[in-house]
Chain A
């Protein structure tokens, strides 16, 4: 990961504010090409702000966000999407009164319609046969698990090199959670880098290669998922639920 050419996304000393509130404090991340990197942390730790800083919904006050070797922190969101960053938003955030197919179309908004679009639709349908079945249905009427499939499919429609996922397992039934993580691994195997904010540390550290732990806006721990799984403070703070339920 030390080779710059292998880096897809890098945060260099990023400070982000909401008004007077200092949310991200001198944050550094490196995401290598082909990795699944997970971001752990409690409420208000700055996880979602990290996602918004990557997407350009909030701009950092200081520091640099580098994507594919070029600084992107001044770019408009649309340009970031065009360069290959796509989000899977917290709580899915589908367009509730549009059809499933229209939601997928919106994922490909920055791209031209053509044979590639058709290929990508087929790819999403192959990954999620249920999405194909429901393509004409109004998105707001789908179940939570189905909505998450559409949300992931919508991100894939951008042909991204990096997918930023904000709480992909939130609010899903346990059997769906496993399915979502299996899908994330499958998408990663097909070549897409994944940066994932996740409350479910147990699952996150199972599928991720590496992880960062964020606490009140600062990175307090980072390392391989395996090392973090064995870290006593992580076990106590984030994996406690696992010990109770397993």
Chain B
């Protein structure tokens, strides 16, 4: 096998092994959508690199073209070509069938985790000053009402968390509350899962509608305690003094 072609094959196989087998040794397995994306990028890189010049293009594509065209082929090479020409379309067909065949598995869902809040919650700011007392009270309220699901460490690993799918939000993750304004959290806590718009799939959230049980003051203080406890800051447009 020609060297560029062998290298390309090795790179692609190596990438597949890393994504599917090596990475899960250290973290959660990747979803298929991400694996396909990274493999497509790797393949694109290989194709770009080997087609930059005429020499490498010939080295890379020449053997493939010669093999598939079948010119002057005899013996095992001829048989191999026939096999490829028969097996490859069958593989494509099988792949297409498995993708389209009815299945009892639900389709991958495209849930919007952070949908836009309703207009009445836009621009609200926390009416309570960020004092140690208020933060302490917020943390106490958080411990009482929120920590069973969101965890005492604000990491989404409360004792009740394993019972939920999707799991409760991890506030320590820089992609959650750190990206949002306090008014957003106020909306989510006050209105709960049922207050989500359709793209947020309200039926997928077990978040209670806390306005039924907690006054607004408690909610604002919980938000304050939550940010402080998770070591995050809310998104603002003014810097703190």
Do A and B truly interact? no
Using a CB–CB distance below 8 Å, which chain A residues touch chain B? none
Using a CB–CB distance below 8 Å, which chain B residues touch chain A? none
